[in-house]
Structure 1
Amino acid sequence: MNMLETIRIQRDRLSKSERKVADAILQAPQRAIHSSIAALAACAGVSEPTVNRFCRRMETRGFPDFKLHLAQSLASGTPWVSRSVDENDSVESYTNKIFESAMASLDQVRQTLDMQAINRAVDWLSQARRITFFGLGASAVVAHDAMNKFLRFNVPVFYSDDIVVQRMNCINGGSGDVLVLISHTGRTRQMVELAGLARDNDMMVIAITSPDSPLAEEAGLSLLLEVPEDTDIYIPMVSRLAQLTLLDALATGFTLRRGAKFRENLKRVKEALRESRFDKGLFLPDNTE
């Protein structure tokens, strides 16, 4: 049953103020998807806490999660593209849907993150002798981006998307090395095998993956991303954004954990990179002041 059907069925069981929220959504569901909680509350003539209560009555975690379920109800999705996009959507429509879906999904992921696990991962990374990032397919792009971030730090970093090279790295790893494996599904056989191989060689293995997956079970520490995206059918979109955002948080934690002296080193790296770029004003038109 989709969210619109749930609202229609549950409407008569709601309180008077919650029914106002239901009616506002049923009258203009597309507008509700693009509304803030304040805007929807004003449209329905209720308070923001009432909107939140309504969302929980619909068995969602809150307003962002509710909007995600509502968006999924309005578009069955175009196979192999996106759950949020309909075959006949205009440029404006599918662009807005992708952005709205991404923002709602990222907020849902944020609410389910295990902060203790993230803190432990930052501990491992900040004490590592060497850090390696591996992924395959769409996750390989995320692993490569992670390498670019951590290359700015004063710790050896390695990346490869070649499974043979990945296996050799795990065989040659040892105590003090941290391996970060990135896989949305956590069901890619090679990633699970790499986790076991690395742990057999005393590497610390962090998995960025989905809950209850084989990779999450095999890793020494799992950072679980509850992303509502079926990448077996649709192009990986939100899952990739969630992985990138989590890696930004890990990189930030790494710099903070290393202290002020380390940030001075990072400043020197930034200054060296700046020298390789053209000055911002170099190519301004002659008539520009």
Structure 2
Amino acid sequence: MTELNVNAMTGLLTRIEYLLPKLKGAEKKLADFITHHHEKIIHQSITELAERSNTSESTVVRFCKKLGYKGFQDLKINLAREIIKPEQHIHEVIEPEDDVVTIKKKIFQSNIQALYDSMEICSDEELERAIEAVAFSKNVEFYGVGGSGNVAVDAQHKFLKVGIKCYAYTDVALQSMSASVLTPDDAVIGISHTGSHTDTLHALKLAKEQGAVTISITNFSKSPITKIADINLYTTSKETMFRTDATASRIAQLTIVDTLFTGVANRNYEDAYTNIQKTRDSTSNKRL
């Protein structure tokens, strides 16, 4: 994806953070300059920005469009709104004196922002490829450890409802054992916030060696898991003292899974609907 879709809820620095690993030369130099001097940019002309970042006006225009803005003026307008309304960034930080009402508001706003930001950077093309791969796989496996393991189990629960043969492995030994006997007819989804958990990486690599389609859900576009996976689905979220590791991106990960699930089910709507009814009836005796 060369350009980001414009979304007013997604800030400039979040967009740059996502694109940074893919930038080179003058564009990378410009991105670094904007990141460290973004509060001054709203008072600069395009010529001033080009001169101070040692780039060119054409580079600035091209970079603005790559970020999803119409041009430099559009970038400045949106950046000014971010600076004028700092509460959009402050809400994530929980202070010792915060009461329950404030904590509730901050957590809800933080999760909403994570969803908007993740919607922005998750490639529609990659998502389409992932849906296609899962829809036509004989078996689907989900690997995750810790907080990401909970997301893997949730994914199994959802996909089973529509008749997809799937398994969630949170035990690292079982991940590797199962991955080693997969086939090219199978697909594996590795879920890792950092994208660097060695056990998940090992299992995903084994699955890839067997010819299975490998998919990652991760927060970092330059993490080791993205080098192994055939398809990468990105989330993004800010971390604070009480929102670290997989916890910070759990909501976004779950939403990516929901999107995958719905996309796959929609491919074969009639069968999916029938299977949902069957699986629902199968547990009806467990409900009062």
For residues 61-118 of structure 1, what are the alpha-carbon distances to aligned partners after superposition, in whole Å with 9 as ceiling and x for unaligned? x97xx49x9347547xxxxxxx521122111111111111111221111122211111
Q: Work out the CA distance in 2 between the residues paired with 1:179 and 1:203.
A: 7
The reply on whether 1:263 has 2:273 as its aligned counterpart is yes
* Letter of the structure 1 residue corresponding to residue 253 of structure 2: Q
Residue aligning to 1:273: 283
How many percent of aligned residue pairs carry the same amino acid? 24
The 1:202–1:9 alpha-carbon spacing in structure 2 relative to 1, beyond 3 Å, is closer
Aligned residues, how many?
Answer: 226
Q: Work out the CA distance in 1 between the residues paired with 2:235 and 2:259.
A: 13
Aligned pairs for 1:160-239 within 5 A? 160-209=169-218, 210-229=220-239, 234=244, 236-239=246-249
Following TM superposition, the consecutive aligned residue runs of length 4 or more in structure 1 with deviations greater than 4 angstroms are 6-14, 230-233
Q: Work out the CA distance in 2 between the residues paired with 1:253 and 1:222.
A: 16
Aligned pairs for 1:1-289 within 5 A? 56-57=75-76, 60=79, 66=82, 70-71=86-87, 74=90, 83-209=92-218, 210-229=220-239, 234=244, 236-278=246-288
For residues 204-243 of structure 1, what are the alpha-carbon distances to aligned partners after superposition, in whole Å with 9 as ceiling and x for unaligned? 1111112111101111111122333379983644400000
The 1:123–1:197 alpha-carbon spacing in structure 2 relative to 1, beyond 3 Å, is same
Q: Work out the CA distance in 2 between the residues paired with 1:233 and 1:255.
A: 32
Q: Work out the CA distance in 2 between the residues paired with 1:187 and 1:173.
A: 22
Measured after TM superposition, the shift of residue 266 of structure 1 is 2.0
The 1:237–1:162 alpha-carbon spacing in structure 2 relative to 1, beyond 3 Å, is closer
* Aligned residues of 2:118 and 2:235 also touching (Cα < 8 A): yes
Structure 1 runs not aligned, ≥5 long: 15-52, 76-82, 279-289
Structure 2 runs not aligned, ≥5 long: 1-12, 14-36, 46-71
Q: Which has the higher contact order (CA 8 A, sep 6+)?
A: 2
TM-score when normalising by structure 2 = 0.69
Measured after TM superposition, the shift of residue 249 of structure 1 is 0.6
For the pair shown, the structure with the greater C-alpha radius of gyration is 1
TM-score when normalising by structure 1 = 0.68
* Letter of the structure 2 residue corresponding to residue 142 of structure 1: V
Structure 1, 153-162 or 221-230: larger mean CA deviation: 221-230
Structure 1, 124-133 or 83-92: larger mean CA deviation: 83-92
